[in-house]
Structure 1
Amino acid sequence: MSATAHPTATPGSTPATAPLRFAGGWTLSFVPLVVFLAGCVTYFVVFKAFDLSALAMAAFVGLLAGSVACRENPRYWDAAVRGISSPASVTIVLILFVIGMYSELVKTSGVAGGFAWLAETLGITGAGFTVFTFLAVCTVAVSTGSSIGTMFTAFPVFFAAGPAVGAEPAVLAGAIVSGAIFGDNLAPVSDTTIISASTQSFRTRPGTADVGGVVRSRAPYALVAAAFSTVVFALLGGAADGAARAPELAGAGAPRGLWMLLPVVAVLVVAVRTRDIFRAVAVGLVLGTLTALAAGLISPAQVLSVSEGAPAGYLVTGTTAVLGTVALVIGVFGVMGVLVEAGVLDRLTSALRSGRLGRTPAGAEVAIAVGSTVTTVLFGGVNSASMIAFGPVADEIGGRAGLHPYRRSNVLDCFAMGLGCVVPFLSAFLFIGATLVEGNGAPVSAGALFAGTVYPLALTAVMAVCVLTGWGRRFEAAGGAAVKQRPVA
């Protein structure tokens, strides 16, 4: 399957036959989704545990619970299978496995350590260190495409040393979380970028939004928000006493890690130029492996080997690292397949279309923005899951308004990566950030961490301006072309 041309991405299409019948009416078709959301709240809010495999379990339990209420059990499971086997689901799973290997290579080769060495060499302190950390974490996150993985890598390297060089702890922690979210928002190898693109289908030609085109069109919004965040970190990132004590970055990294920026740049260039994510990752894997071996960052055994009878190497660990996300994709697309077969998607889009919001392109964008934000909050800030669930709805709403798939993808993704993913006491990002802070220095409260996490807040403001003013709004013309004026039907 080409990465530049996919069939329609909607998980299951509106059935020609009557909708699925449930014992207590069509509203019981929400049982799988309600059970899944309850699982999200339970794990992130109650247990404070971040595990995508557990969320996948909640989705599958939800499917089982929904089947009990359905009067047409065989058709119910057929609907779930159609959702799971939809082109969007299969495409996302395939890309995740390929990208998992590349992401693991970049993490294993120690690019974060290269930035730590650079900060030590330049003698950066105070607010300058906070700004440097934000930019470095942005680069690492774009390189790996993993916000959570980047946070686990960056906190031990940068936060542990920050207070010692005069950085404000809460703002520094927020800069790390912000940089991780920036990478997730813009990286062509990010699962959220892939999901936001693959759930938005063209109306005038076959296929879904290509990742390279989405990244190119999204860059202005992300970069404006990042520039504003940089200014804020420069103003507020220094400790109140201005003290810069003995640096503690010595030994935290080595300059050789910076060599891995070569394959990172290659992946970005190939992804944007060819709009083919598979080709970009293949180039990154080959060039990255050769670079890491030549620079002595990894040994041949770290590529592929057997250790104590078990497979080892980044190719293996990269594949296994995405299994939880893959299971989550399968579970959520199964739930969406049931909702589509039950006619819920049609009811929702019809209600929005007949209401005031559905009458204009701006109104459609407002509906997508609100829906994406609320869904992300309900999903505990896990924006990959929220976009899988709300992506088909955004596709229908925006498609009916004539919005280009790139625009739909950007509104969906940027609001999911904005305020919705950092709501205090509900956000997986803030929970993980606070946990990592405790393990690497002075504790920072969730409220203080939220205030320091500037990028998602700035991104929300930037996108709100885009929706209200129409900045960057494009419509789909013949052949999938993006035009400023909506074509006359």
Structure 2
Amino acid sequence: MEKENRKLEFYGGEWVSLAPLLLFIVLIIVTTFFWGSISDGALWVPIFLGLVIPFFLAKDKKHYSNTLIMGMASKDTAFPIATWLFAGVFSRILRMSGFATGLAGLAGSFGVGPVLFTVISFLAATLFSTATGTGFGTIAACMGVLYPAGVELGVNPAFLAGAILGGAAFGDNLAPVSDSTIASATAMDVDVPKCVRSRLKYSLTAAAITLIITIIVGNILGQSANIKEAVSYDQMTLIMIVPVIITLIIAIKSGDLIIATIIGSVLSGAAAVIFGLMDFVQIDAVNPVREALFSVSGSGLDRAVGGAVFTGLSSMTQMVVLCLMLFSAIHIMKCGHGDMKILNALSHVTRRAVGAEVVISFMVIALSSIMGLNAPAILTVGPSFARPLADKHGISRYRMANLMDAQSCTWCYSLPWTCTMMYILSFTVDTSAPLSGIQITPYCFFTFVMTAVMFVSIFLGIGRKDFINVQGEAE
């Protein structure tokens, strides 16, 4: 174990351990920004090259190899992969059963236009993410149901995806059971309930401003609802709302998205078959009128299994492969102490409370943006930097916990190369409106507003003395 945990050394020093992630970011900018590709290769090739090129700069090639494998094999890697696979099946069954079209038709029949639908989607995402504490779970639930329905209704796809992503970030920041909330409270050695109470002013302010911006931009976009298409729908598809509601309740009660989506997949599949929306299995079907949970077709060596379950699993292939390599890059950075180089470089301008909060903000934003993850960034910055700086400058530890949490739920959600962005893109593949990360980023209003709210609070000193008594001690 001691050998496994030893430092990973590079020719050129500790900064080189950042190379896998930096190369990935640079190359993904080339493939998506300049070449305009949203294919698997536009994501896989950059991260693959990001892992291969720095290999030749590692002093111990065997240790580099072991570190790479340890990154792939960690629980941090396995958990999202398992979540994505089960959520992929659940969302695909809902889509192939016609539920999204039915939901769009219902909205259209009630006169719900694109702007109102986007506002409803943002609010639904904020409620679900606050109840469950999971950004990934919120994306799975809302993108699987609301995104295809909104596209059918005529909503600008990137505009809708940005609203859903913003709602997911809201709950990740605010929910008591969120991993980032727990991480920030743990890092600052404070209790969760007071953290949540004291951060309401930031989260609600950002959400209110986001709603206003969403309404204004939605009207500027000039979207027109596909009312004629939307009103014509099979009302029987709306029965699928029952397994969706049951799944959401289970997710909220258990806090476990895997449990919820396993049960949701079984219930939605059963409902779709029982009510004639899908076939259970199709063998060599020719021009079938319905989709099927399972299908077999082809001949000889080309005979293959397909259907909603297979399609749901295969739709997550891009994310799974990307995740395995991306988490290896993150582990290489941490074992090579690249994250500490960033923190140390930013830690020299903390003479006043304002400076300390600005530096901590940039530390968290930088690390979470590079990692694409928020909780690890919080746990890296909190105990070593944020806690001593808070005590040194008389800043409430609750305030510092809130600052780290909020800033970790901003750019980490909206940049084109992060895990959350890649995840949301996986739900647009094989739809009538596939997207790239750069298309969604400009519409991530909540993350930009939250960044602005937190920096305004820094310069106005808002919350700096939260839960500090007259003696200057934490209550």
> Which category of TM-score, normalised to the shorter sequence, fits these structures?
0.5 to 0.7
Deviation at 1:396, TM superposition (A): 0.7
CA contact (8 A) 2:372 2:412 kept: yes
Which residue, 113, 128, 132 being the options, matches 2:117?
132
CA contact (8 A) 2:15 2:341 kept: no
- Structure 2 equivalent of residue 387 of structure 1: 372
- Structure 2 equivalent of residue 413 of structure 1: 409
Which residue, 51, 54, 60 being the options, matches 1:63?
51
Answering whether residue 296 of structure 2 is matched by residue 306 of structure 1, we say yes
Deviation at 1:134, TM superposition (A): 3.7
**How do 1:9-88 and structure 2 match up within 5 A?**
17=6, 19-52=7-40, 54-88=42-76
- Higher mean displacement: 65-74 or 283-292: 283-292
Deviation at 1:140, TM superposition (A): 8.6
**How do 1:34-433 and structure 2 match up within 5 A?**
34-52=22-40, 54-124=42-112, 129-136=114-121, 139=124, 145=140, 153-154=148-149, 156-159=151-154, 175-182=159-166, 184-185=168-169, 225-234=206-215, 237-238=218-219, 247-250=227-230, 253-301=233-281, 302-308=292-298, 309-352=303-346, 356=350, 362=357, 366-371=361-366, 375=369, 386-388=371-373, 392-400=376-384, 401=386, 411-418=407-414, 420=415
Change (3 A) 1:33 1:120: closer
Deviation at 1:457, TM superposition (A): 3.8
SS of 1:89's equivalent in the other structure is helix
Change (3 A) 1:116 1:351: same
Deviation at 1:324, TM superposition (A): 1.1
Deviation at 1:66, TM superposition (A): 0.9
SS of 1:248's equivalent in the other structure is helix
CA contact (8 A) 1:145 1:184 kept: no
**In 2, Cα distance between the equivalents of 1:364 and 1:43?**
32
CA deviation map 1:171-227 (0-9, x unaligned): x56642333324553689xxxx9996999896799xxxx9xxx99999997776555
CA contact (8 A) 1:112 1:253 kept: no
SS of 2:342's equivalent in the other structure is helix
CA contact (8 A) 2:4 2:67 kept: no
**In 1, Cα distance between the equivalents of 2:199 and 2:275?**
33
Change (3 A) 1:117 1:487: same
TM-score, with length taken from structure 2: 0.67
User: Aligned Cα RMSD in Å?
Assistant: 5.1
- Structure 2 equivalent of residue 169 of structure 1: none
Which residue type is aligned with residue 268 of structure 1?
Answer: L
CA contact (8 A) 1:76 1:338 kept: yes
Change (3 A) 1:463 1:263: farther
Which residue type is aligned with residue 179 of structure 1?
Answer: A
- Higher mean displacement: 455-464 or 338-347: 455-464
Change (3 A) 1:429 1:470: farther
Deviation at 1:41, TM superposition (A): 1.0
**How do 1:453-464 and structure 2 match up within 5 A?**
454-462=445-453, 464=455
**In 2, Cα distance between the equivalents of 1:24 and 1:321?**
40
Deviation at 1:331, TM superposition (A): 0.7
Change (3 A) 1:316 1:217: farther
Change (3 A) 1:199 1:319: farther
Deviation at 1:330, TM superposition (A): 0.9
- Higher mean displacement: 275-284 or 363-372: 363-372
Deviation at 1:45, TM superposition (A): 0.9
CA contact (8 A) 2:106 2:231 kept: no
SS of 1:305's equivalent in the other structure is strand
Change (3 A) 1:146 1:436: same
CA contact (8 A) 1:217 1:406 kept: no
Deviation at 1:157, TM superposition (A): 0.9
SS of 1:417's equivalent in the other structure is helix
**In 2, Cα distance between the equivalents of 1:236 and 1:300?**
43
Change (3 A) 1:158 1:69: same
TM-score, with length taken from structure 1: 0.66
Which residue type is aligned with residue 408 of structure 2?
Answer: L
CA contact (8 A) 1:357 1:367 kept: no
**In 2, Cα distance between the equivalents of 1:218 and 1:187?**
12
**In 2, Cα distance between the equivalents of 1:395 and 1:136?**
31
Change (3 A) 1:324 1:74: same
Change (3 A) 1:310 1:52: same
**In 1, Cα distance between the equivalents of 2:142 and 2:405?**
19
**How do 1:432-451 and structure 2 match up within 5 A?**
none
Change (3 A) 1:21 1:414: closer
Name the % identity. 19
